[in-house]
């Protein structure tokens, strides 16, 4: 099984990627590409909707508390 120490970076990476992609979406929107910004926001919404499942998957990989 995966340890919490090993699994935490997976979760942290997802959060960091979401933040970076949102910054890019804002930058694109400020330059007038609202369609692209909207598409990025839609994709980020899907990632956010699935965050609970990712978290549960990580918890399952870690296994019962030690």
Contacts of 48 (CB under 8 A, 6+ apart): 18
pLDDT of residue 65: 60
> What's the pTM value of the predicted model, to 2 decimals?
0.69
Region 8-27 average pLDDT: 89
Return the structure tokens found at 63. 């296994």
Q: Is the pLDDT of residue 19 over 90?
A: yes
The CA distance from 44 to 18, in Å, is 7
pLDDT per position as a tens digit, 39-59? 999 999 998 888 888 888 878
- With tokens 């330059």, the residue in question is 31
CB atoms within 10 A of CB 15: 11
Tokens (6 digits) for 30:
């400020």
Q: Is pLDDT larger for residue 42 or for residue 6?
A: 42
Share of the chain above pLDDT 70, in %: 94
Euclidean distance between CA atoms 39 and 20, whole angstroms: 15
């Amino acid at each position: 099984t995966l340890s919490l120490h090993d699994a935490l970076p997976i979760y942290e990476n997802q959060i960091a990627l979401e933040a970076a992609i949102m910054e890019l979406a804002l930058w694109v929107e400020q330059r007038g590409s609202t369609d692209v910004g909207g598409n990025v926001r839609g994709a980020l919404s899907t990632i956010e909707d699935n965050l609970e499942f990712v978290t549960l998957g990580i918890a399952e990989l870690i296994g019962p508390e030690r």
